[in-house]
Structure formats: C-alpha cells, structure tokens
C-alpha cells in the first residue's frame, strides 16, 4: 500500500516481524462493521455515489461470509486484518473497492474496530459478573442464620453470619461491576473521522458514522483519539481488581475447606483428585483462579509501561496494546465461566463451624463482654484490660468463657452482674450486632434485599444495552439505523 514512496519491497523478515494477523484476525467482523458505516457516510456526503457505496457494502458482506465460511484465508504479506479485508474487497469490486479508505487512516480505523470489539466483549463479561452476584445473594440467603468465625490476621475474631460473609463479596464484586460499567462508558465514543491524527479535508459526517455504529458521541480531539489508550486502561483497571477479589476469595474458600478448618464444603464437580493419594480432594479451580490473577495484573502493567513514554500521536508500539487486552479478556472469560457455578454450590457444615468457635474457648465473645462493661459505665480501655485478664484466666485453666460462673467472672471483673449470661451465646452475639451494615441477622436480611434490587436494576440496564449493540450485529442492522437501502 505504500509502494509509491518506496523503491524496495519490504523484507520478508520485516513482514514477519511487523504482521499482526496472529493477533487481530479476531477483529474481522468489527472491522467490517466500521467499514460499512464509513462507506455509507462517504456515499451520503457525495465522495462516492450511492451505487458505489452499495457495491462496496455488498462486497464487504461477501468478504464477511467468506471469512465465516472459512473460504477466505488471510495473507501475512498484507500485514493485518484491515488490509486483508480491503484487499479482498478490491479483488471482488475492482477499482470501486479502492475508494473505501477515503477520509480514513488505519489509525482511526483500528481505534474504531477495537472499541466495537471490546464493547461487545464487555457485555458478556457484565452478564457473567451479574450471574456471580446472583450466586452470592443465593448463598447469603441460604446461610444467613449459620454462624461462623470472622477472622483478622487469620485468627478467630468475632462470630458472624455466614450470610454476612457472602454479602461482603457481593459488595466487592458489585464495585467491580460498576468499574466495568465505567470502562464500557469510557469507550463509547466513535474515532472514525479522526484520520491519521489531524482529521480530514473531506467533509466527513462524523455524527452519521457515530449513529450508524451506535456510539454515544464522536471523539472530541483527533490527536487524543489516535494517541490515547485510556479506555483500555479503564478495562485493565477493572480486570485487575476483579482478579484480585477473585483470588482473595479463592484463598478464603481454599483455607476454610481444609481439614484444619473443616467447615466449608466445596462441590466435588469443581475439585480434582490426586494421581497417587486416593483420599485427596484438591481445590484446583480456586488455585488456578489465584494463579491467573498475576497474568491479569501483568497485562495492566504492560499497557501502562508501553504508553508511558510514547510521544504524540500514533507509534507502532501501540500495535501490541491488543496482545495483553485479548489475553486478559480470555482469562476473565475463563474465570467467570467457572466461578459463579462454583460459588452457587458451596455448602457449609454448620456444626463444624460452631465447634471451631467452641474449641477456641468461646473467646470470640470477649469483645461482647467488654462492650457489656461499657454499657455499665466502665471506660472502654479499662474494660479491655479487665476482659483481657479474664481471657488469660480462661486460657490458663482451659475454661470456656461462656462456661464461667458469674462468681468466677466477678473475681476478675467486679462490675459483672447476673445479666452477663444474657450475652454469652453465639446467636445473641451475632443478633446484637445490629448496626447498619453489621452482621446482625436482620441487617444481613436488609443487605440481601437491597442487593436483589440492585441486581435486578443492573440486569435491566444490561438487557437494554445488549439490545442496542445487537441492533448493528449485521450489515443490514447498521444500514437500517439511517434507513439506507
């Protein structure tokens, strides 16, 4: 395509080194979508005739059919998906096909194609993420009245509702969902018409191509359009935090399912065995989620390092931006394929969970005793010190906190009265933590109900967005937006 300027053919090793077909062939459908919108706009503004626009659009439809049927095989000599499609179009339509690229550079063409592709991929990720949120709500409702230990420093801390635990992850992944929605909004602008970097001397109708491709608005600065990869960074930011949350949760479930903890039951269908030890039940899926997280974070860092020193505007380095993007998308697809159904099948051994708290001599109730003393007028620091002495007594004598008589407690804490017995139970400890957002059973129920409402609203929003994007999945759909025949 640049032989008018060069005397020598491109060296074969350079062709091999600079080609991106191994990377960008997956973009063929979205490249054709952008081209159909562009050529229809060229026809409307009179750069080409309506008949030529129709002929090119029909030719692009033929190329699409050839690719999807496997008839058309791309050539590495043509460097990328964009030039392969344009070359085949010209073979089919002759000189008319060569008019397609008027008013367009590969810079704004690629930027548009990638946005169309990523927009579609993010819809599928959003749907899977909402499925995961639904699994958390289901587990929270089922396990709302089950009491487990909450942990700090991986040491028993205070008794909590298992439903409260599941709702904690609901909140974390809900934030991920909102970050994903932000990433989707940040790419919802149309680069077509920005050209190589400075726009075009042709009277392009950027609003028309924007409408045809169902973007919210055209990009506002041609230099920024070509140079920026912020919308990719927004996706990677979401992906990294999502993967970190998935990894942390996986670590929890792995630990709680060990024999040493022993109160969480992972589904057999999401575990594997050992090639030598018949008794083993290994949480391989969760371990792989944990292991893949580093890859997702690495792709984020890759893009940031790639772009940190690039001068305005386009540099060939940016060809590599898609390598990490596609790998990250594929990794998230894999995680989200297994994580929602796994979470939906996690069960609990409530008796073992309670036994674990009792083995700890019921010391997880120590804070309840300290706050009981605060209600009696004891300054908290004094209450903390006094209860700490009582805890040491329990440990040294192997006595559970709830098993002490009022008399024994009074020896260490004179302010204790007979009503202390009313707080020394796991159920009452959880029930009394009724502050907003706390683990009290009623509070957890409120969290679940609120979560259901949020999930329903997000499902409705996603349904509308899917319908909007699917309206241009075919060439006829793109043309139908403007009523073009």
DSSP 236-304: HHHHHHHHHHHHHHHHHHHHHTSTTT--EE--GGG-B--SS-TT--B-HHHHHHHHHHHHHHHHHHHHH
Encoding tokens for residue 93? 């339509």
Q: How far apart are CA 369 and CA 408, in angstroms?
A: 14
- Identical topology for domains 12-102 and 107-354+448-476: no
- Token couple for 26: 């997956």
pLDDT at 425: 94
Task: Give the tokens for residue 278.
Answer: 């018949």
Number of H-type helices and E-type strands within the chain: 19, 6
What would the two tokens of residue 192 be? 């077509």
118 Cα distance to chain centroid: 13
- Residue 219 to residues 112, 121, 179, 199, 308: CA-CA distances in angstroms? 10, 21, 21, 11, 22
Residue pLDDT, tens place only, 85-121: 999 999 999 999 999 999 999 999 999 999 999 999 9
Count CB neighbours of 189 within 10 A.
18
Q: What is the CATH number of domain 12-102?
A: 1.10.275.10
Query: What integer pLDDT is reported at residue 308 of this predicted model?
Result: 97
Residue 153, Cβ density class (10 Å: 0-12 exposed, 13-18 middle, ≥19 buried)? exposed
In terms of Cβ atoms closer than 10 Å to its own Cβ (0-12, 13-18, 19+), residue 244 is middle
Residues with catalytic function: 153, 274
The pLDDT assigned to 4 comes to: 64
Phi (first) and psi of residue 379, to 5 degrees: -55, 145
Question: Residue length, the chain?
Answer: 485
The pair of structure tokens assigned to 121 is 């991929």
CA 109 from chain centre, in angstroms, equals: 26
**Range list of H helices, 143-270:** 162-186, 206-212, 222-227, 230-256
pLDDT in tens, 144-188: 999 999 999 999 999 999 999 999 999 999 999 999 999 999 999
pLDDT at 305: 98
From the options 1.20.200.10, 1.10.287.610, 3.30.465.10, 3.40.50.150, give the CATH code of 107-354+448-476.
1.20.200.10
pLDDT at 3: 58
Distance CA 329, CA 82 (A): 21
Query: What DSSP designation does 282 have?
Result: B
Digit-by-digit pLDDT tens for the chain (485 residues) are 555 666 677 788 888 888 898 889 999 999 999 999 999 999 999 999 999 999 999 999 999 999 999 999 999 889 899 999 999 999 999 999 999 999 999 999 999 999 999 999 999 999 999 999 999 999 999 999 999 999 999 999 999 999 999 999 999 999 999 999 999 999 999 999 999 999 999 999 999 999 999 999 999 999 999 999 999 999 999 999 999 999 999 999 999 999 999 999 999 999 999 999 999 999 999 999 999 999 999 999 999 999 999 999 999 999 999 999 999 999 999 999 999 999 999 999 999 999 999 888 899 999 999 999 999 999 999 999 999 999 999 999 999 999 999 999 999 999 999 999 999 999 999 999 999 999 999 999 999 999 999 999 999 999 999 999 999 988 888 888 777 65
Q: Where are the domains of the chain?
A: 12-102, 107-354+448-476, 361-432
Q: What is the pLDDT of residue 16?
A: 81
Would you state the torsion angle of the CA atoms of residues 60, 65, 70, 75, taken in this order, to the nearest 10 degrees? 0
- Residue 245: closest CA among 283, 297, 303, 309: 297
pLDDT of res. 22 = 87
Cα-based distances in Å from 470 to 75, 127, 265, 338: 30, 15, 40, 26
* Three-state secondary structure call for residue 273: coil
C-beta atoms surrounding 35 within 10 Å:
28
Write down the pLDDT at residue 484: 67
361-432 under CATH 1.10.10.10, yes or no: no
Which two tokens mark 283? 């949480």
Rounded CA-CA distance 326/25 in Å is 12
Peptide bond into 313 cis (omega under 30): yes
Half-sphere exposure of 100 (CA within 13 A, CB side): 31
In the prediction, which pLDDT does 146 show? 98
Half-sphere exposure of 239 (CA within 13 A, CB side): 34
């Amino acid at each position: 395509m640049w032989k008018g300027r060069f005397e020598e053919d491109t060296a074969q090793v350079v062709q091999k080194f600079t080609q991106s077909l191994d990377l960008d062939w997956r973009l063929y459908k979205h490249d054709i979508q952008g081209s159909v919108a562009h050529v229809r706009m060229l026809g409307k503004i009179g750069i080409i005739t309506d008949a030529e626009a129709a002929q090119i659009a029909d030719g692009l439809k033929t190329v699409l059919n050839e690719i999807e049927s496997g008839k058309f095989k791309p050539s590495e000599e043509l460097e990328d998906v964009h030039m392969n499609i344009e070359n085949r179009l010209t073979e089919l339509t002759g000189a008319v096909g060569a008019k397609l690229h008027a008013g367009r550079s590969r810079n704004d063409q690629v930027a548009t194609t990638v946005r169309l592709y990523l927009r579609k991929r993010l819809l599928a990720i959003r749907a899977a993420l909402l499925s995961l949120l639904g699994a958390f709500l289901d587990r929270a409702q089922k396990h709302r009245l089950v009491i487990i230990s909450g942990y700090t420093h991986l040491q028993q801390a205070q008794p909590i509702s298992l439903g409260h635990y599941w709702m904690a992850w609901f909140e974390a992944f809900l934030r991920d969902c909102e970050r994903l929605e932000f990433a989707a909004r940040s790419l919802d602008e149309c680069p077509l018409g920005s050209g190589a970097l400075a726009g075009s001397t042709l009277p392009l109708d950027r609003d028309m191509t924007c409408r045809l491709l169902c973007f919210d608005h055209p990009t506002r600065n041609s230099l920024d359009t070509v140079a920026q990869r912020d919308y990719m960074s927004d996706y990677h930011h979401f992906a990294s935090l999502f993967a970190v949350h998935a990894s942390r949760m996986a670590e929890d479930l792995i630990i709680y399912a060990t024999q040493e903890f022993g109160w969480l039951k992972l589904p057999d269908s999401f575990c594997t065995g050992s090639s030598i030890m018949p008794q083993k039940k290994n949480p391989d899926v969760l371990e792989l989620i944990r292991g893949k997280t580093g890859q997702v974070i690495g792709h984020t860092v890759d893009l940031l390092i790639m772009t940190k020193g690039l001068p305005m505007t386009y540099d060939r380095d940016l060809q590599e931006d898609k390598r990490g993007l596609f790998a990250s998308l594929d990794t998230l697809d894999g995680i989200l394929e297994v994580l929602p159904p796994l979470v939906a099948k996690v069960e609990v051994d409530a008796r073992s969970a309670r036994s674990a708290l009792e083995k700890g001599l019921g010391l997880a109730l120590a804070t309840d005793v300290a706050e009981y003393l605060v209600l009696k007028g004891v300054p908290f620091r004094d209450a903390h010190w006094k209860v700490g002495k009582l805890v040491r007594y329990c440990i040294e004598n192997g006595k559970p906190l709830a098993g002490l008589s009022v008399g024994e407690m009074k020896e260490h804490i004179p302010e204790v009265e007979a009503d202390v017995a009313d707080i020394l139970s796991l159920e009452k400890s959880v029930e009394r933590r009724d502050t907003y957002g706390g683990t009290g059973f009623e509070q957890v129920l409120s969290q679940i109900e609120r979560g259901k409402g949020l999930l329903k609203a997000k499902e409705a929003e996603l349904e509308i967005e899917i319908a909007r994007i699917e309206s241009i999945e075919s060439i006829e759909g793109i043309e139908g937006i403007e009523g073009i025949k």
